[in-house]
Amino acid sequence: MGEGPCLDAIREHDVFQTDNLANDARWPDFARRAAEETGVASVLAFRLFIEADRMGAFNLFSRDTAAFDAEDRAVGSIFAAHAARTPILHSVVQSPGTQRVASVGQRRPPAR
């Protein structure tokens, strides 16, 4: 699909939030599939910096509209910063048996 708040968080090095995915024009294909397949309405996506050449995302989902507020963003940012530094995350990313699961939402950073 190539789009969605998770991928934008990785690409743009920022936090992405939507309060009503069905009405968000930034990710039309993702929004349609997420709504149809899961009923997700709100998304809060944080970039994880795992290693110099690996990134990922920490995502919160809700079926309620406007489910996340400023406090959720603050706490989520702290959690994402700590989660990116955990040895467990690093071992999951490097483990061949979980590579497919771990690689969902991961992208190499853009060349500078």
CA distance 72 to 61: 12
Query: Mind listing the pLDDT tens digit for each residue in 56-90?
Result: 888 999 999 999 999 999 999 998 888 777 655 54
- If you write DSSP's letter for every residue of the chain in order, what string do you get? ---SHHHHHHHHTS-EEES-GGG-TT-HHHHHHHHHHH---EEEEEEEEEETTEEEEEEEEESSTT---HHHHHHHHHHHHHHTT-HHHHHHHH-GGGHHHHTTT-BPPPP-
pLDDT for residue 4: 92
Domains assigned to the chain: 5-102 (3.30.450.40)
State the Cα torsion 67-73-74-78 to the nearest 10°. 110
Residue 58: its pLDDT value, please?
Answer: 87
Residue 32 has pLDDT above 70, yes or no: yes
More confident residue, 112 or 26: 26
Residue 18 vs residue 53, higher pLDDT:
18
